[in-house]
Amino acid sequence: MSKALIELSTVRARFSALERGLAFFDGPGGTQVPDEVIDAISGYLRESNANLGGDFETSRRSGEIVADARASAARFLGCAADEVVFGANMTTLNFALSRTLARELAAGDEIVVTKLDHDGNVSPWLELERDLGVRVVFAEIRDDTMLDLDHLASLLSERTRVVAFPWASNAVGTLVDAARVADLAHSVGALAWVDAVHYAPHGPIDVAAANIDVLLCSPYKFFGPHLGLAYARGELLERWRPYKVRPAPERPLGARFETGTLPHELLAGFVATVGYVESVGFDAIVAHERELGERFLAGLPDDFQLFGLPTMDGRVPTFCGQVRGLASDVAAARLAERGFATWSGNYYAVEVMKRLGLPDGGLRIGFVHYNTADEVDRLLAALASLA
């Protein structure tokens, strides 16, 4: 769907949740879900609920749902269906996959992480530092919150095994050139390990084009159910020894790294989620979100201090700031009283907040494609009134 064809009223009509008198600027913590996703989840439980491997109808339907989910994930990520891994959430998957990789690591190996990351792509590596004696080093961010690629490159050596980084910051919205960082990682034989949780709602992912080795994201951040989704290059999945029960099947490759029975009803919802995103199209999503972001940045009151890039170039429409003289939790509470959903705190972006000098975090405001210009204008007026 092109920019000219996007109809916000049509899009919003697909979300019953948007009918209440609350303007949802809380997307960085989780988006609202279209009715077709909800219907797919409840439809599975009514009509197809069973475990896998049976000859009866509901078991066969469940098997088809799982296969459809892998195919949908492959389209969404730009990979093969057997390179898909499902789990509870991104953080749980990242702990599991990093421990699997850890079978190949030894004391003295190095992991590069960044100060732009959500801690879900930092703490798994810090725990391996404690367990194995690997060394974790942090790539810096610049004053404008862009990742310092020169500093990152200076940290690389023949000891580097993984470069873990975000595609977009969940705290300040800054984008990272994923293909460029992947090239830097590969130049020393390291894996490019990407947290795409915050990028996935805002732009298309193609792991093959970006030459990424491992990528993780969360469907509940892009209009779907609470799930974790990961990609890992087939060669890695073939080589790694998974933590799994002995009778679990060896194929498809990604299934080797899924412990226990998958939440089939959520996979049904995930299939509908990908269908929804495809029906709107990222061309339309990117264009509309950029317009909203530009409107917000142009209208910010003088008493609102923005942390991060001051234009929409190099960012997604997630903004961190503070109303001068007002703690972020107080600002978020007062905005909630006025009908606006926002966030306060550090949002697990521990190093970003340290770098910005915000020990208690900031006020986080995020737009997605179902937000309207009128909502943005009302938010700007509310921010001005708080000051």
378 and 285 within one domain: yes
138 and 88 within one domain: yes
CATH number for 158? 3.40.640.10
For 12, residues 6+ apart whose C-beta sits below 8 A from its C-beta are 18, 370, 372
Return phi, psi of residue 87, to 5°: -160, -170
How many domains does one find in the chain?
Answer: 2
46 and 11 within one domain: no
210 and 345 within one domain: no
149 and 112 within one domain: yes
Q: For residue 49, with 0-12 CB atoms within 10 Å meaning exposed, 13-18 middle and 19 or more buried, which class applies?
A: middle
Return the SS3 of 12. helix
271 and 204 within one domain: yes
285 and 173 within one domain: no
Give the domain extent around 77.
39-277
Tens digit of each residue's pLDDT (9 = 90 or more) over 286-308: 999 999 999 999 999 999 999 99
Give the Cα separation of 180 and 149 in Å (integer). Answer: 9
Angle between helices 264-280 and 282-299 (to 10 degrees): 80
Q: Is the pLDDT of residue 2 over 70?
A: no
For 150, residues 6+ apart whose C-beta sits below 8 A from its C-beta are none
Q: What tokens were used for 378?
A: 């009302």
Give pTM, 2 decimals: 0.96
Taking the CB of residue 136, how many other CB atoms lie within 10 A of it? Answer: 19
pLDDT of residue 74: 98
Q: Is the pLDDT of residue 135 over 50?
A: yes
Tens digit of each residue's pLDDT (9 = 90 or more) over 63-108: 999 999 999 999 999 999 999 999 999 999 999 999 999 999 999 9
Q: What tokens were used for 35?
A: 């009715």
Q: Averaged over 110-139, what is the pLDDT?
A: 98
- Looking at 231, 258, 277, the residue that finishes a domain is 277
Q: Averaged over 219-237, what is the pLDDT?
A: 98
Angle (CA) 180-232-213 rounded to 5° is: 20
379 and 329 within one domain: yes
288 and 347 within one domain: yes
- What sign does the CA torsion over 295, 296, 300, 306 have? negative
Q: Is the pLDDT of residue 12 over 90?
A: yes
Nearest alpha-carbon partner for 90 in 140, 40, 124, 41: 124
pLDDT of residue 5: 59
- Looking at 277, 298, 317, the residue that finishes a domain is 277
- Looking at 251, 277, 303, the residue that finishes a domain is 277
